């Protein structure tokens, strides 16, 4: 077994997750490889030394103070603190909604303008004789439209 493979199994050894065969192979390798033995000792000792930090104790009345907070209203989380993927999705959806609303509004305004112009055209007196004007050439030639 290579040194790299042995080192990758250090965690399993530390957590007691090696099979009997793997454990035996590791022992055999460490017995004959001073570098890996040194690495293993450092790896295991560093993990052991973490226990020298015992942690802190909760302050007196922690549970009481926590229970008092149950009555508080949930604080509102600013939308920018959401998970980045959700944040960008919301931002993109908002931009898209604004764009669609603006476009629809613009289209409606243009439609209203056209309707207004059409109504005015319908009511224009000077277009009453449009057929005559359109067929003027035929009239000049004496023909009938």
Measured from the CB atom, the residue of 65 and 114 that comes closer to other proteins is 65
Q: Which of residues 50-79 bind other proteins (CB under 8 A)?
A: 50-59, 62-63, 65-67, 69-70, 72, 74, 77
Question: Residues for the chain: how many in total?
Answer: 145
Site for other proteins in 84-143 (CB under 8 A): none
Element (H, E) at 16: none
Strands (E), the chain: none
Q: Which residue, 21 or 77, is less far from other proteins as judged by CB? A: 77
Minimum CB–partner distance for residue 20 and other proteins (Å): 19
The single residue listed with the structure tokens 């290579």 is 2
CA distance 94 to 140: 64
Q: In whole angstroms, what separates CA 103 from the centre of its chain?
A: 26
Which residues of the chain form contacts with other proteins (CB under 8 A)?
8, 10-12, 14-15, 17, 42-43, 45-59, 62-63, 65-67, 69-70, 72, 74, 77, 80-81
């Amino acid at each position: 077994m290579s040194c790299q493979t042995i080192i990758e199994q250090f965690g399993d050894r530390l957590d007691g997750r090696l099979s009997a065969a793997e454990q035996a192979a590791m022992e055999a390798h460490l017995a004959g490889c001073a570098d890996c033995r040194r690495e293993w000792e450092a790896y295991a000792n560093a993990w052991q030394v973490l226990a020298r930090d015992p942690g802190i104790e909760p302050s007196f009345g922690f549970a009481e103070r926590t229970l008092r907070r149950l009555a508080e209203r949930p604080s509102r989380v600013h939308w920018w603190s959401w998970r980045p993927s959700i944040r960008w999705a919301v931002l993109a959806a908002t931009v898209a909604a604004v764009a669609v609303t603006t476009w629809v509004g613009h289209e409606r305004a243009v439609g209203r303008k056209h309707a207004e112009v059409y109504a005015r055209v319908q009511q224009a007196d000077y277009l009453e004789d449009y057929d005559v004007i359109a067929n003027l050439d035929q009239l000049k030639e004496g023909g009938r439209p």
